[in-house]
Structure 1
Amino acid sequence: MSKHSPLYRKIAQQMKEEISKGEWKEGNAIPTELMLSETYQASRVTVRQAIKVLVQQGLLYKIQGSGTYVSEHKYEHNIYELTGFTEEMRALNKNIINKVLTFSVIEPEERIVQALGLEEAEKVYYIRRQRWADDIPLIVEDTYLPLALFPDLTYQIMEGSKYDFIESVKKLKIKDSYQEVIPILPTEEIQELLQLKEQIPIIKVQLLSTLKDDRVFEYTDLFFKSDEYKFTITANRS
């Protein structure tokens, strides 16, 4: 940081270092403005400005009448990027496990037929996976893929990245996806799979993905552990 930076920004940087070193722990209150003013030899107005910077960055949050707290780490999922779970977690150097709980060929219900644009009597793979990072179950995923499009799909492939398989093995180009984000209360089964101690709201994402030739190749219901994830949108002003 430049030596000409305002004092409040220098203090904000020092506060950020306290968080990164673990001196200020996630979920805990930070010292009072008075204490910080004494620590950094600055006015309370300057300290308040520094705190505001870190609140805007999502590192701190305020509770009216209680104090300022260190934000708990959440994985960031940008819904404007078609990035698979494996790709996201690899970028963060996380230890990934994809537990395949169900791998079967079924006759799909009507909503899946409509979503995938299937002909009558076409069958699909139904795969339920539990997606883990660093020994924490983050997502339960129910995926439906046309059997005719991926006749060589296997259980072992789904223990890895399906997008890697589609692009690297099948040599198909993925174009885009349509995602609908819905807050829901989990069923008992989903609650258990996400290891939630109580029935708190979670995020469900319904996802349709297409290939470059506009064929729909997947329908997926994703159930995100909401206390571990945050969803971000980057909006541009026209």
Structure 2
Amino acid sequence: MPTTLLRNSQIPLHTQITEALRLQIHYAELKAGENFPSERELAERYGVSRMTVRQALRYLRQEGLIYHERGVGTFVSSRKIDVHTRNLSGFSEEMVSLGLAPSSRVLQLKRESAGEKIAGDLDLETGAEVFHLERLRLADDEPMAFESTYLPSALCPELDRIDLTKNSLYKVLSENYNLPIHHAAESLEAAAANRFLAEQLGIKTGSPVLVVHRVVFSESNQPIESAHTTYRADRYRATFYLSKNAL
């Protein structure tokens, strides 16, 4: 029995179908990771041509609500997480604000000698001792990001004795070392996941990822962290807030 559409409406049929399917995805009637109905099934359900259905699906793909795998089928995408660039916060704070449970797997936390690039970021002499922290960041136990962080060991001695699997690094810096974060310089670029990152994040090699490089400063303008965070592009979306400078 075809689902009812407003056939005398000024709203095109494909737009009505797009909205109906969008609502089904939003309310989890069509769940993330599940096979999406075929063009033929949708055409029969709504009593329209496959061309009309194809137009509706095009909009859903453009919005990132569904995706197609050649030779496999069409699937409902997982909900994307918005990263708002106007707020300086860590992964844990971002996930909690979205109602998700953050956690981390510490892959390594060791002392190293800073190379030229890291030393430059942290305003150190090349070869100065730093902590190198690598973590897999999860939300509701799903891998979301891989993080590689460097911090001057002189500013946070014995950091390697603190459990960072559940504790926010920024909270530890503030409460344990009196180093509240104040501002940051950040850049974002698109990349493709290599084999290591793909294995960590549970995605295919070559899948798109978002790489964010952040240098965090204290209130006294001292750099305290240099971090590269690689996010799954299928789960993350960066939102920028811009305003025109006064003339």
Indicate if the aligned counterparts of 2:95 and 2:139 stay in contact, CA closer than 8 A: yes
| 8 Å CA contact 1:29, 1:70 repeated in 2 | yes
1:163 to 129, 148, 170: 170
Closer, same or farther in 2 for the Cα pair 1:205/1:21, shift >3 Å? closer
- Alpha-carbon offset, residue 80 of structure 1: 1.2
Kindly state the Cα deviation for residue 163 of structure 1 after the two structures are TM-superposed. Answer: 1.1
Change (3 A) 1:70 1:236: farther
How big is the shift at 1:13? 6.4
Read off the aligned partner of 1:92 and give its amino acid letter.
L
| Other structure's SS at 1:18 match | helix
**Aligned residue in 1 for 2:231:** 224
Do the aligned partners of residues 105 and 61 (structure 1) sit closer, same or farther apart at CA in structure 2, a change above 3 Å counting?
Answer: closer
Q: Corresponding residue for 2:182?
A: 174
Offset of residue 89 of structure 1: 1.9
Q: Quick one: distance in 2 between partners of 1:31 and 1:121? A: 58
User: In the alignment, what sits opposite 1:141?
Assistant: 147
| 1:201 to 1:13, Cα distance in 2 relative to 1, 3 A | closer
Sequence identity (%): 24
- TM-superposed deviation, 1:112: 0.9
**Who is 2:6 aligned against?**
none
Q: Is 1:183 the counterpart of 2:191 in the alignment?
A: yes
Give CA deviations for 1:78-137 in whole Å, capped at 9, x if unaligned.
261433111122223333321111111111111111111103542100111111223322
Show structure 1 runs of 5+ residues with no match.
1-5, 64-68
Q: Which has the higher mean CA deviation after the structures are superposed, 141-150 or 175-184?
A: 175-184
**CA-to-aligned-CA distance 1:157-177 (integer Å, 9 cap, x gap):** 422211111234425242223
Decide whether the 8 Å contact of 1:126 with 1:144 is kept in 2. Answer: yes
- Is 1:114 aligned with 2:120? yes
Residue identity in the other structure for 1:131:
R
Question: Are residues 1:128 and 2:129 paired?
Answer: no
Size of the alignment, in residue pairs? Answer: 231
- Give the unaligned 5+ runs of structure 2: 1-10
Residue among 102, 105, 110 paired with 1:104: 110
In the superposition, the TM-score normalised over structure 1's length comes to: 0.71
| Aligned-partner Cα distance in 2 for 1:195–1:31 | 26
AA aligned to 2:185 is: S
The alpha-carbon distance between structure 1 residues 61 and 195, as it changes in their structure 2 partners (threshold 3 A), is closer
More displaced 10-residue stretch of structure 1: 209-218 or 71-80: 71-80
Give the CA RMSD over aligned residues: 4.0
